[in-house]
Structure 1
Amino acid sequence: MPEETFVIAGASLAGAKAAETLREEGFTGRVVLIGEEIERPYERPPLSKGFLLDKEQREKAHVHEADWYDKHEVDLRLGVSVAAIDRAAHQVRLSTKEPIGYDKLLLATGASPRQLEVPGSRLQGIHYLRTMADSAALKQALAPGGRRVVVAGAGWIGLETAAAARSYGNDVTVIEPEPAPLHAALGPELGAVFAALHREHGVDLRLDQGVAGFWGAGQVSAVVTSGGAEIPADVVIVGIGARPNTRLAEEAGLEVSNGVLVDASLRTSDPDIYAAGDVANAYNPLLDRRIRVEHWANALNGGPAAARAMLGQDVTYDRVPYFFSDQYDLGMEMSGIATPGEYDEVVFRGDVEGREFIAFWLSGGRVVGGMNVNVWDVTGDVQALIRSGRPVDTTRLADPATPLADLV
């Protein structure tokens, strides 16, 4: 019987962890891991955190040691991409024109930053953050300090890079069209907490306005807001979200809608093709809905889940979404979904002003999201509350003397 070949399109965290899992689960066939970057697979959180702040070395971000792939007989192809999928022939064609047959295919192609298409958007000095090279270039731009930095977007990337820019001693202005930072992710209640945090650290927050354009002669020198203000800028960081990289799936005729549509086993509309990580819009049985999650934990856990499903194991990927962030002296972990419209109440436990608390988002009396801020070792209990789906007593929920485990 011919040796099976599993191809992974995307040498990302999800792709690398899938390859690792295939070997751990005893798969002895050929594993081909294909990535368009020349950097071997790495984790992305350090790009806006430790690596950008010059607190962590580049090597710490890598998923595996350099020799891991050879030792585990994973054919790692860097600097090359999958150009097309021929589903009928069970074959992918690389950007080098080389064809590779597959028995199973995993799409781990991730997402790309949304571009700000306004006048002047091609000027030098405007940065997007997605790759290790992007982070290295941004660090070089910020590290001298004394620069005028404008951040477009007060989402997670925008706020983390704003905090990094301030840590280097730069003047920072953040422009955000919503009424609060992180409004689309957390709502106004927690948005106000992060607004106060950044203002206390000297960030000029310009809310309820967007970016209308950029000025400069080759190099950006100012940002023009939708309100007509002109803000001097030496460095601009654009963090306005990301789009899933679905071109391959679309051209192959797979079902796509805000990502590659997959079932609870991360299987696409083609039974031999799977998708994981940022690119996958997956049905989550716990939430009884589709979600596309761009956070680190989804790639970390989704890649292995897809690998097991590719091996024919019975897989149900129903994890509670999880995310973490570090900004100045604030560290937080977020579990669940807390976007406006998904909840009807926010309950706080602890010292909000002192930024040592847990926030719970509730819908119909049930916890749907939880964020622990400078409070640790509670994520398991928070996620258990979400998974239980049971109504909680909000008085006890707000009481730090009541163990969270007693509420599950």
Structure 2
Amino acid sequence: MTFMSVAHYLQLVERYWRSQDGAKVASFLSLRHEHAGYANYHIESPEGIVERFLTAPIDELVILHLKCLFAISQSDYLSAYNIQSNLTQTFTKILQSQKEENWSLPIMYVLCLDLRLLAQLAENQRSGINEKPGEMLEKAAECLMGCFRVCAADNRSAEEDTKRIGMLALVNQLFKVYFRINKLHLCKPLIRAIESSPFKESFSLSQQITYRYFVGRKAMFDSDYKVADEYLTYAFENCHKLSKKNKTLILIYLVPVKMLLGYIPSKEVLEKYDVIQLWDLVQAVCQGNLKAFDEIMEKHETFFIKCGIYLIVDKLKIIAYRNLFKKVYLILNTHQIPIEALQTALVYLGQTDVDLDETECIVANLIYEGKIKGYISHQHRKVVVSKQNPFPPLTSLS
């Protein structure tokens, strides 16, 4: 965009609004568009000039947009958020009034994205104030839900007409809020709405990738690893090969899920996407080296917590137990393994607080999860493993 006067900008907005060019209007209402950086658009009271060029209802949207730009120019993100919230709610009423139209959906996408980003800035600005953490983001989510309800209520069946094709973009914005404020239970009705949508396969690929990434993460936190694997794998495989940052982000969650399902990632994959922090962990798990596992968990604790994967990574210890017990089985070369021998191996690798009963419990869990084929003879304190494939193999993930 070349530099233009506010008057010219307003004339273009009116023209695009009348021609129902939603994408063009959206760009002129975006806080990230080039015009937002020009000082002459930072107007504290723009009502006078706007009303000379624009008619209702677009005039009110532009007035609020310019006021928001002014607040941002003053680094007053709390005020900017409140204005953007008002702008979003005003647009929601307009969207609802457009009974037979959906051309303004691009405007909704832009306003809602900017609202969420401003809510984050406002949240940071008020962090020193003694108020409820996440409150600004929660309020933003309420505005987003207003738009979502309008879209979901449109019962027209034609894809080119219905507002329901805008639902997934809103769901992704809501996911980003709910994950940030740790209210994942609020995702459930949104997932149900999308999964039952007749337009499920019609949403853009980028929106589907984002959606599956968040649903996969939620499934991971719910310990539904097969669903997590399915959704995260889809997101990873369909993410553009040049979007290395996004593929790395997906892989951070996909790798622990895959490992819990019995797949082991290669070093090349982890190096390619800069998640080499996981390689030492993979080695410790594969070697059954519980001492190294505990040291790695401590060393990379901050990274794992920051990514939100500490608890799921800690669950990989069960696979390390499996691999250690397999080594004991191979050394003793018997299908009747004394529980005491397994405990001795555990103590040798730093698990000094594990007694025979706890060792037996670990073995029982491994048998229950199918990682060891056999049973426990409580009378003789032995693990009797199958003579055929007692330790089902882990699969290489490349």
TM-score by length of 2: 0.26
Query: Over alpha carbons, which structure has the higher Rg?
Result: 2
Higher helix share: 2
